[in-house]
Amino acid sequence: MAPYLTRFFGNPSSHHEVGEAAASALDDARSRVAGVLGMRTSDILFTSGGTESNNAAIKGLVLGSGKKHLVTTAIEHESVLASADYLARLHGVDVTHARVDATGTLTPDTLAGELRDDTALVSVGYANNEIGTVQNATALVAVAHDRRVPVHLDAVQAAGWLPLAGLGADALTVAGHKIGAPKGTGILAVRGRLPFEPLLHGGGQERGRRSGTPDVAGAVAIARALELAEAERTDEAERVSGLRDEFVARVLDLVPGARLTGHPSRRLPGTASFVFPGTNGETVLLELERRGIVSSSGSACAAGSDEASHVLLALGLPHDDARTAVRFTFPHGLTASLEPVARAVQAAVTAVGSPE
């Protein structure tokens, strides 16, 4: 990023030497992202993060289509659910929350049953941000495309862990801070042939789909981070998933009443989410932190809320159990040693036995 915060400081929309240097960097970043995602350079927009990208994808594609039906699920990120609610309240869009099973999986047959002639878009998370369940994205895309319905995949959690190219999605979103780029950077890939109503209006930057002076340094950063994450993805996923599986097995064996949530095997390599019935999730988090283990109760976007996770409730868990959720995430670069796993397991055993 450094050169584009100092020497190459120009506005990429300006037609002079300094601006053209910035524009060249922006074009190069766009090309790098397109290469990883398997899309055209003209399909790539740079945004302020996952929330903006999801808002722009859902509102832009639904409003651009002129149709009045949106299909999503009840386990999506708040930015997806709130965008759907906005369309329902202010634009009369009929929103269907397709049913997921107890593992958080949306089956192709279930999706097929929800599609209509007036369906504008299907918006589904490639991998869930709380329980880590990974959807069969290519199968869901195929079902929707069979009815000529475009698909938006929220790939914020998937980037760096799962393949992003070859999914067939019409729109895909990525957040920079999930792959080592600065917070406040994001990507929206949306196929140029689709009608699209911009979220931001003004000078028509980003091919008329997102007005505003582009963050050149941020675009350069997220493009490079995405390339690095993709290059390391296979090895990292295999190594970290092995550590996660060992952690899950030990917690289920040693912590009384512990239940793993989400799909038992088709899940993000770095995610293990549990409920500990009979405890208080927030108290368990505090006890874990006292022992040097930093975890969360669900989505960071809902941190501080006393409400039970909407994701777990949609899976059919009782309200009291859903409030005991604790999510452990295993980062890229985690040592291959089992020592951190053993320390985290011991902290969980003690923490669950300590609350109140």
Same-domain check for residues 45 and 155: yes
Instruction: Give the count of beta carbons closer than 10 Å to the beta carbon of residue 288.
Output: 22
Strand (E) or helix (H) holding 44: strand 44-47
Return the SS3 of 187. strand
Q: What is the pLDDT of residue 334?
A: 79
Same-domain check for residues 12 and 109: yes
Same-domain check for residues 82 and 19: yes
How many domains in the chain?
2
In angstroms, the CA 194 to CA 62 distance is 10
Q: What is the pLDDT of residue 333?
A: 80
Q: What is the pLDDT of residue 298?
A: 66
Same-domain check for residues 310 and 211: no
Q: What is the pLDDT of residue 297?
A: 83
Same-domain check for residues 245 and 343: yes
Q: What is the pLDDT of residue 299?
A: 56
- Rg, the chain, Cα only: 21
Closest CA to 19 of 35, 8, 6: 8
Q: What is the pLDDT of residue 337?
A: 79
Q: Which residues contact 254 (CB under 8 A, 6 or more apart)?
A: 345, 348, 349
In angstroms, the CA 309 to CA 319 distance is 9
| Residue at a domain's end among 175, 200, 229 | 229
CATH number of the domain to which 61 belongs: 3.40.640.10
Q: What is the pLDDT of residue 322?
A: 94
Q: Phi, psi (5° rounding) for residue 198? A: -60, 145
Q: What is the pLDDT of residue 280?
A: 84
Tell me which residue range forms the domain holding 306. Answer: 233-353
**CA 191, chain centre distance (Å):** 19
Helices (H), 291-331: 310-314, 319-322
Contact criterion met (CB below 8 Å) for 262 and 294? no
Contact criterion met (CB below 8 Å) for 151 and 145? yes
Catalytic center residues: 301
In the chain (356 residues long), the average pLDDT of successive 10-residue segments reads 90 88 95 98 97 98 98 98 98 98 98 98 98 98 98 98 97 97 98 94 92 96 98 95 95 95 96 94 91 81 68 96 94 82 93 69
Strand (E) or helix (H) holding 326: strand 325-329
Instruction: Say if strands 119-125 and 271-275 run parallel, antiparallel, or are unpaired.
Output: unpaired
CATH number of the domain to which 294 belongs: 3.90.1150.10
Helices (H), the chain: 2-5, 17-37, 50-65, 78-91, 108-114, 137-146, 216-254, 281-290, 310-314, 319-322, 339-353
Q: What is the pLDDT of residue 34?
A: 98
Same-domain check for residues 275 and 168: no
Same-domain check for residues 225 and 301: no
In angstroms, the CA 201 to CA 217 distance is 22
Same-domain check for residues 112 and 184: yes
Same-domain check for residues 274 and 323: yes
| Residue at a domain's end among 229, 255, 271 | 229
Same-domain check for residues 87 and 109: yes
Instruction: Give the count of beta carbons closer than 10 Å to the beta carbon of residue 277.
Output: 15
| Residue at a domain's end among 207, 229, 251 | 229
Return the SS3 of 47. strand
In angstroms, the CA 281 to CA 288 distance is 11
Same-domain check for residues 225 and 237: no
Q: What is the pLDDT of residue 13?
A: 86
Instruction: Give the count of beta carbons closer than 10 Å to the beta carbon of residue 219.
Output: 31
Same-domain check for residues 176 and 53: yes
Instruction: Say if strands 325-329 and 271-275 run parallel, antiparallel, or are unpaired.
Output: antiparallel
Q: What is the pLDDT of residue 282?
A: 87
Instruction: Give the count of beta carbons closer than 10 Å to the beta carbon of residue 42.
Output: 11
Residue pointed to by tokens 């994808």: 57
